[in-house]
Structure 1
């Protein structure tokens, strides 16, 4: 081997080095979901159905099922929101749905929030939850309940805690997906006394 092969690489002087281009800030707009958003919503949700245990659904959403859920949420006057990038790409969605089917539960809802895989860890989930809570309060909701998978959902649990949700119970081994048992953590946020 030649001696020059062992020489350390030379560096350009600071004034000749290229200036690094800063990464564009992560930005988004929160707005009410529209019918045209449903294909992107379905794509995001089905990613989690097929690749994670944060939803206990095992079958991907088909369009008629999603459309029925969307119509039901909007007819009840409950919030269904999306986050959209400046280029128009849907980054995530969130909505509330009645906690139980019986009429007496009509002012208690369960929240649902799903982010596109590239949108996690950037504060989007928290922003969406703050907006969802605000819109739920305006819609007359008295109680928001979060039912969170007890595996691989630590970030979701922490986010809910930071927003004032209190842990009200755990249920172990109530779901079975991907050949393993799953439990849930239930949290609640009262909006009115």
Structure 2
């Protein structure tokens, strides 16, 4: 497995992986799959801010991706990012998500990020909750029935992982320049 920066050439694979989550899952609250061009624009928007947008590739095929984007646009959030991770249905349970999310965490640490947030769609999303727990996230709350998708109300699970000492000391760097996501 190779974990690397996503590129324009990955747009079709990103759209296919994410599109499956949109159509059949609750991990995202989008209901219409974005096009490959839309996914590439999203990738560029993250990478243009100097943030990680990574893919996991096996035998030349992209099987998963993860990235970190601004958690919220206000300046006070400049030390906090939010991760997203998606894996091809055929590759789930094979370590793809853990590999690519671990690489995103390492990249966020190198950037001086202090808190990494996960906002996971569906309190029954055991695979994503378990993945985040396995790499050191703790659950910090649940938003009950905040989304409506596939004919039912869906919760969101908030998880958080402190990086670089979290809030144990004051920041020693200016933080991430926020332009939204």
SS in 1 for 2:117: strand
Aligned to 1:165: 137
Deviates more, 1:57-66 or 1:111-120: 57-66
- On the 8 A contact 1:94/1:114 being kept in 2, the answer is yes
In structure 1, the residue matched to 2:44 is: 71
**What is the aligned partner in structure 1 of residue 163 from structure 2?**
191
Q: How does 1:129-168 map to 2 (within 5 A)?
A: 129-168=101-140
Kept after mapping to 2: 8 A contact 1:31/1:81: yes
1:48 to 21, 44, 50: 21
Structure 2 gap segments, 5+ residues each: 166-181
User: Aligned Cα RMSD in Å?
Assistant: 1.3
Partner of 1:7: none
Q: Which has the higher contact order (CA 8 A, sep 6+)?
A: 2
Runs of 4+ in 1 over 3 A off after TM superposition: none
Q: Which runs of 5+ in 1 are unaligned?
A: 1-27
Picking from 48, 53, 63, the partner of 1:80 is 53
Query: CA offset at residue 56 of structure 1?
Result: 0.7
- TM-score normalised by L of structure 1: 0.81
Q: CA deviation at 1:85?
A: 1.2
Distance 2:27 2:108 in 1: 23
Conserved in 2, the CA contact under 8 Å of 1:169 and 1:187?
yes
